[in-house]
Amino acid sequence: MEIDETINTQKLKNIIAEKKPLPIYDGDKQLYTEVTAFDAIRSSIENIFDIFELGEIELAEKISTIAGEHEIETRLIEVIADPEELQKRRLNRKDDAHERLQTLIEKEKKYNIDSNILSIQGAKILDIINRDKIGSFTDDEISRTTSDFERIIPVEGRTLKECLQLLMKISKEEEREAGFLVHHKHKKERITSDIVVGGKHTVVGVTLLEVYIGFRQKGGVLGIEAVYKPDVVGIIEVVHSHHGGDKILSPEDQGAAERFGIIVTVIEANGNIDSTHYPRKRQLQRLLDED
């Protein structure tokens, strides 16, 4: 983000220190109160402190809005990395999670920021009173990184049918949930993740989406429920093996399809399939029934 160079430094100092009615949110209510631009920006930073984890775009938009209230022109300059490089970073995110969270805590103390962050993906604050001591999630907690997976199986060279058969085999022999992603675009499809085998407390579908696609949660506005939005063209399908329950497709699967805007397809160990997209169900069932 860069501020228009026509505003000199002294004028900018005066503007950000001037008290003016600016929007402050109390729950889902938007209030206006006499605060400085600096106070409003500081409040935004506190609410979205972990920019890397929680959304740099949201923070930039809030700062731009505050600047606009003071007639400061801003331009948002977005740096976009190569998709494969981003995926590589997400796959290895657990490796430096402790170091990144420690850095955030140090910045809190240095800049006197009142952050309410307790964890990031892969690490958490152990002493929430003194806000120090960084550690890992326990076995019954979900951090949604590749460390949650029991193992990862490459899909290179495997057909869609072979991947489905492998899910069936893992489900039957190991009683573990496994899954992978399919990207549908322009009437074509391709497998876009490895096959992941879940651990005891893994949420396979959500973790797949966050690690391999980069779905980011964007907070709800004025009470609207938070949603995940991808930066991809086309439709993402989560295919996973059945993990208990009377119905093949669980209420959680149905809810995920609506919340994420994706297709969720579930396959049982015996080859029965159900999907939130009925034509897809019939298509995959025919594929498995082929000799």
Question: Quick check: is 141 in a domain?
Answer: no
Taking alpha carbons only, the member of 291, 233, 242, 232 closest to residue 266 is 242
Q: Which of 23-37, 50-64, 128-142, 223-237 has the highest mean pLDDT?
A: 128-142
Same domain, 256 and 181: yes
Same domain, 245 and 265: yes
Taking alpha carbons only, the member of 17, 12, 9, 13 closest to residue 72 is 12
Picking from 48, 75, 102, the residue at the C-terminal end of a domain is 75
Same domain, 235 and 152: yes
Picking from 51, 75, 99, the residue at the C-terminal end of a domain is 75
Q: Where are the beta strands (DSSP E) in 128-226?
A: 132-135, 149-153, 178-185, 188-191, 195-198, 216-218
Same domain, 40 and 169: no
Segments forming the whole domain that contains residue 24? 2-75
Question: Quick check: is 140 in a domain?
Answer: no
The CA distances from residue 122 to 4, 94, 134, 143, in Å, are 38, 5, 11, 5
For residue range 95-149, what is the model confidence (pLDDT) as tens digits? 777 888 888 788 777 767 666 677 777 788 888 777 888 887 765 565 566 777 8
The 3-state DSSP class for residue 282 equals helix
Same domain, 158 and 266: yes
In the DSSP assignment, the letter for residue 148 is G
Same domain, 130 and 31: no
For residue range 207-262, what is the model confidence (pLDDT) as tens digits? 788 788 877 554 433 333 445 566 678 899 999 998 777 889 988 899 888 888 89
Question: Quick check: is 168 in a domain?
Answer: yes
AA letter at 246: D
Q: How far apart, in whole angstroms, are the C-alpha atoms of residue 230 and residue 266?
A: 21
Taking alpha carbons only, the member of 46, 79, 44, 81 closest to residue 64 is 44
> At 216, which helix (H) or strand (E)?
strand 216-218
Q: Taking the model in full, what pTM does it have? A: 0.61
Q: Are 199 and 243 in contact (CB under 8 A)?
A: no
Same domain, 202 and 248: yes
Considering its fold, how many domains does the chain have in total? 3
